[in-house]
Amino acid sequence: MNIAIVGLGVIGGSFAMGLQAAGYKNIYGIDINESTVRIAVEQGMIQKGFVEAGDILPEMDIIIISLYPNQIAPFVEQYRNVLKDGAILTDVTGVKTAIIEKVSKVLPSTVDFVFAHPMRGSEKKGIIGADHTRFIGANALITTIPTNKEASLKLIEKLYKEVGFDQVTRVSPEKHDEQIAYVSQLIHVLSVAVVNSTQASEETLMFAGNSFQELTRIADINADLWSELFLNNRTALLKSIEHFEIELDALKYTLEENDDKELKTIFSRAANKRREWY
Amino acid sequence: MNIAIVGLGVIGGSFAMGLQAAGYKNIYGIDINESTVRIAVEQGMIQKGFVEAGDILPEMDIIIISLYPNQIAPFVEQYRNVLKDGAILTDVTGVKTAIIEKVSKVLPSTVDFVFAHPMRGSEKKGIIGADHTRFIGANALITTIPTNKEASLKLIEKLYKEVGFDQVTRVSPEKHDEQIAYVSQLIHVLSVAVVNSTQASEETLMFAGNSFQELTRIADINADLWSELFLNNRTALLKSIEHFEIELDALKYTLEENDDKELKTIFSRAANKRREWY
């Protein structure tokens, strides 16, 4: 079975390493950056590397497209005529509905595309950040579409397990995007807004507790990637922000009104909910 | 030297244990809850315990008032006439300006009050949560007032170091409250509002990453304590929320306008700032 990894960044590079570690021999790497390809070969991450995808794609059974969200559909469109019949394509992006819509328009009916989201990002960038052990114990989501063959879904799920993922769960693209908007993207929004509101002074910042350090950690964000993730999910994310703002306003109003009774009610509701969750 | 701890909760109990561990013998405990006093004595946290503060306060050189913010000034007022000349009082609350203002109105000139903030809270409540090792490596802030004697400040700083605190820094009450509003209270506001906006479904919550779990941890909040902390610092906290909202609106606007250029600028600003900090 020939497997190509398209885009040898943190995630693509980690997949290459993980698949080799799992015993797969025919792992090929594609990256537009020549030195990235050279590093991947030198470090034994891939069997052979290519700068031009057309040179190798026709022979590939599985193609893991580890590109930025907006590059996926153009990539499929460019190479749609050289794909092997029965090939399985898969992506690794953190938003789904918009990507599926774009890809569906250009995907030939002779191949299957299993849209997936490995839930283990990184603040690192590029092949030097690749490390397949990051996947160990992580979870992944597979967002199925009606044309997916059960065999394709099972094969991708198997690959995820083999490189170390713990739970690989199927979920609808809509549900995925709505939930990711809340549990991930909203938290990134808050982190960025907290840091940009920058009321910290050098001397007191050292006294900030865990909660400040933890929340602001994700503000050290990959601007190119996350702007694509946000804008490809902007409807769900805006809805999530608006839900949040209703609660923020309610809390703010208790401060303005000096209303300790209502403030305690708000706190108790949050405390109870949090305890239900974890 | 006789030391009284008033209020044997998580912080008061931890101070009693820490001072004993540091070699102080005459540690007395006061709590309105009889069973709390009994536990403290049985577990050897204090030498002797009292339900009625008036029975012991006249002999105390140092009085660590580990009560809720709104109880401090009433406590001082109630016992102002029995305090030993030259006694040093200190508190442990997380807001300062409002407390100092209230206490200053009732504080006799024969004693000194060193307002302090040990920066190591807990989600636990009561004496069963007491554990002096929590203080090891933590930081504390001393908010000085013009009437403080240097000897009193030095003595309280020494006690903090002896129970395990790392850095004990002096800061003005205004600066303290303004910074705490940002690095601590604002983060609690966001956490509570995120949890209360509750868009999570049971099945997807398990896929929430670290950032969601970390931020929402502090939503499991002690409602009685934090409503006092927020309302005693409401001016600074409201200002902090408003600064945050300006940045949230700016980010939201880029989503509404699908403006990837401005969104990237916002991300880069946050990433650069965060990297400066940590």
pLDDT in tens, A216-240: 999 999 999 999 999 999 999 999 9
Q: Please check whether residue A68 touches B, CB under 8 A.
A: no
Contact flag B247-A273 (C-beta cutoff 8 Å): no
Tell me where in chain B the CATH 3.40.50.720 domain(s) lie. 3-171
pLDDT level of residue B201 (50, 70, 90 thresholds): confident
Rama region for A88: left / alpha / beta (φ>0; ψ in -120 to 50; rest): beta
Contact flag A207-B139 (C-beta cutoff 8 Å): yes
Q: Is the pLDDT of residue A123 over 70?
A: no
Contact flag A267-B198 (C-beta cutoff 8 Å): no
Cα–Cα dist B81/B68, whole Å: 22
Ordered strands of the A168-171 beta sheet: A48-50, A27-30, A3-6, A62-65, A88-91, A112-118, A140-143, A168-171
Contact call for residues A120 and A99 (beta carbons, < 8 A): no
Q: Please check whether residue B123 touches A, CB under 8 A.
A: no
Q: What is the mean pLDDT of residues B122-143?
A: 89
Class of domain B175-277: mainly alpha
Contact flag B208-A270 (C-beta cutoff 8 Å): no
- From the list A141, A192, A237, the residue facing B255 with the nearest CB is A237
pLDDT level of residue B98 (50, 70, 90 thresholds): very high
pLDDT level of residue B125 (50, 70, 90 thresholds): confident
Instruction: Find the closest chain B residue to A255 by CA distance.
Output: B234
pLDDT level of residue A136 (50, 70, 90 thresholds): very high
Q: What is chain B's Cα-based Rg?
A: 21
Q: What is the mean pLDDT of residues A2-6?
A: 98
Residues paired with residue A5 on neighbouring β-strands, in sequence order: A29, A64
Contact call for residues B66 and B42 (beta carbons, < 8 A): no
For the domain spanning A3-171, the CATH number is 3.40.50.720
Q: What is the mean pLDDT of residues A84-93?
A: 98
**Rounded mean pLDDT of chain A?**
94
Cα–Cα dist B160/B173, whole Å: 18
Q: Is the pLDDT of residue B51 over 90?
A: yes
pLDDT level of residue A278 (50, 70, 90 thresholds): confident
Minimal Cα–Cα distance from A229 to chain B, Å? 11
Cα–Cα dist A21/A26, whole Å: 12
Q: What is the mean pLDDT of residues B34-56?
A: 96
- From the list A189, A218, A270, the residue facing B195 with the nearest CB is A270
Q: Which residues of A touch B205 (CB under 8 A)?
A: 183, 277
Predicted confidence at residue A233, as pLDDT, reads 98
pLDDT level of residue B252 (50, 70, 90 thresholds): very high
Q: Is the pLDDT of residue B261 over 80?
A: yes
Element (H, E) at B5: strand B3-6
Q: Please check whether residue B248 touches A, CB under 8 A.
A: yes
Residue A220 DSSP SS3: coil
Instruction: Find the closest chain A residue to B241 by CA distance.
Output: A252
Q: Is the pLDDT of residue B206 over 90?
A: no
- From the list A181, A218, A227, the residue facing B263 with the nearest CB is A227
Cα–Cα dist B233/B155, whole Å: 28
Predicted confidence at residue B204, as pLDDT, reads 67
β-bridge pairing A140-143 and A112-118: antiparallel
Cα–Cα dist B223/B211, whole Å: 23
Element (H, E) at A215: helix A210-217
Tell me where in chain B the CATH 1.10.3660.10 domain(s) lie. 175-277
Residue A225 DSSP SS3: helix
Residues paired with residue B49 on neighbouring β-strands, in sequence order: B29
Q: C-alpha angle with apex B90: B84 to B93, nearest 5 degrees?
A: 150
Residue B32 DSSP SS3: coil
Percent of chain B with pLDDT over 90: 89
| B interface test, pick of A190, A212, A222 with most B CB neighbours within 10 Å | A190
The pLDDT tens digits of the residues spanning A157-178 come to 999 999 999 999 999 999 999 9
Contact flag A211-B191 (C-beta cutoff 8 Å): yes
Minimal Cα–Cα distance from A10 to chain B, Å? 18
Q: Which residues of A touch B190 (CB under 8 A)?
A: 190, 194, 215, 248
Percent of chain A with pLDDT over 90: 89
Q: Which segment of A133-142, A193-202, B205-214 scores lowest on mean pLDDT? A: B205-214
Q: A276 is written with which tokens? A: 């239900």
Sequential DSSP letters for A52-105: SGGGTGGG-SEEEE-S-HHHHHHHHHHHTTTPPTT-EEEE--S--HHHHHHHHT
Q: Is the pLDDT of residue B273 over 80?
A: yes
Predicted confidence at residue B209, as pLDDT, reads 76
Q: Is the dihedral of CA B120, B121, B124, B126 positive or negative?
A: positive
Q: Is the pLDDT of residue A203 over 70?
A: no
pLDDT level of residue B30 (50, 70, 90 thresholds): very high
| A interface test, pick of B96, B274, B276, B278 with most A CB neighbours within 10 Å | B274
pLDDT level of residue B243 (50, 70, 90 thresholds): very high
Cα–Cα dist A220/A210, whole Å: 16
Q: What is the mean pLDDT of residues B190-212?
A: 83
Residues paired with residue A117 on neighbouring β-strands, in sequence order: A141
Predicted confidence at residue A208, as pLDDT, reads 79
- From the list A175, A179, A244, the residue facing B197 with the nearest CB is A244
CA proximity to A8, closest of A126, A122, A156, A162: A126
Q: Please check whether residue A276 touches B, CB under 8 A.
A: no
Q: What is the mean pLDDT of residues B34-51?
A: 96
Cα–Cα dist A175/B252, whole Å: 22
CA proximity to B113, closest of B139, B79, B137: B79
The pLDDT tens digits of the residues spanning B166-182 come to 999 999 999 999 999 99
Element (H, E) at B49: strand B48-50
Cα–Cα dist B195/A243, whole Å: 11
ipTM of predicted assembly, 2 dp: 0.91
Q: Which residues of A touch B234 (CB under 8 A)?
A: 255-256, 258
Contact call for residues A37 and A67 (beta carbons, < 8 A): no
Predicted confidence at residue A51, as pLDDT, reads 97
Q: What is the mean pLDDT of residues B28-51?
A: 97
